Amino acid sequence: MDDISIDALLGILLFLLIFGAWFSAAETSMMAINRYRLNHLIRKGNRSAKLTGRLLSQVDKLLGSILFGNTLLNVAAAAVTNILILRLFGTSEWALLFGTLLITFILLVFSEIMPKVIAASYPERVALASSFLLAPLITLFHPVVSVATALVRGVLRMLRIKIQTDQSKQKVTLEELRGLVLEAENFLPRKHQKMLLNLVDLERITVNDVMVPRNQIEAFDIHAAPEALRHQIITCHHTLLPVYADAQSNIVGVLHIKRVLPLLHEAELDVEQLREILQEPYFIPSDTPLLKQLQQFQERHARLGLVVDEYGELLGLVTLENILEEIVGDFTTHSPSQSGKFIRQDDGSLLLEGSSSVRDLNRKLGLHLPVGEAKTLNGLILEHLQDIPEAGTSLKIGNYPIEIIQTQDRAVKVARIFPAQINKSGT
């Protein structure tokens, strides 16, 4: 070292500091790069993205090589600093102490903090550019890093700590996926963002949450008089009608209105011919997730299913339109019995049918009523009171004052709700 000039030593020190700063920036950028953006670039065939993905698939080797190189450079920088101090100030202990503190501060600011802040701000640019130099360095440092990695894995195995070396195989939970969609509000229209959130929620919503209740199902009795059948078919509001024999719980088939039209031209409706064109009923367990049911509708080429409980009792029905409306919102025409109408009063309150779905009220009116076991407003009130209320009874659910206006057949027929704020679009 005696033959090396002070200017050369300063140049070496500057080179070590710059290269050490690059190692710090490469480490931060590799860990901070957006995995989804990286995968998108890989699918597009981006060369640097593919190389970065391969490096991240062996994160233990990647980090080991970066840390080894960074540590080696920092130690070398400290050694060169000591040589410079000895050349300039001799063996002064105060000079050595001051030089050590100075190089520590310089390393901290210019080789650690500043490059890591820059890399965290532009992780994609830094990581993709750094991958071309990191790849050969990992090969060069492999002997040393492999020994160190083996020791680390051995200690982690003794401590029974499992490691995930391939970052690309990490799974995203539903809540994390929701968070990603919410964070994308600056890039997605509000309506599209809401549709994506609804799609994510399909996994935890069951058919029991969106089905048409049994008492609102429009069906007809195959044993009814032919004229009564004809009239009901002509005036029905649906293209698919469940058909039962004597009791509504005894479903014998599903009638497609288009297939029955030729029979209506005859003088008297032929019940036997009507039986022959019935489709076989499709029964669905009440706890089936909506996403799974959507797939089953697609596989079976079906549009309507009858929801049953664990004892086989009919609870209601669910259609393909019911599921699609959970994603995109209302777009079909409902029968009067299922419209869930409400009337706005002058004081801002709303008169609601007790049979209205709680989920529909929350979606259409911007309310935040609790969604649990109870699926209708009537069920929510009965669940809260643990009793059948009388007209005039008042209560409060989810910060919403509610007044019972009318009861019928041991159920709430009409209720008045006083929402503090109502989504104007729901009116």
pLDDT tens-place values along the chain, 427 residues long: 556 777 888 888 899 999 989 999 999 999 888 887 888 888 888 898 999 888 888 888 888 889 888 888 888 988 888 888 887 777 777 888 888 888 888 888 888 899 999 999 999 999 999 999 999 988 888 888 888 878 888 888 888 877 665 555 556 676 777 777 777 767 778 778 788 888 877 778 888 888 888 888 888 888 888 888 888 888 888 888 899 998 888 899 999 888 888 887 776 777 788 888 899 999 999 889 888 999 999 999 999 999 998 888 999 999 998 888 888 876 655 554 444 567 888 887 888 888 888 888 887 787 888 887 788 888 899 988 888 888 888 888 888 899 999 888 888 889 999 876 444 444 4
Give the length of the chain: 427
Rg (CA), the chain: 35
Domain range list for the chain: 6-169, 172-201, 207-328, 340-426
The CATH number assigned to the domain with range 340-426 reads 3.30.465.10
CATH class of 207-328: alpha beta
pTM of this prediction exceeds 0.75: no
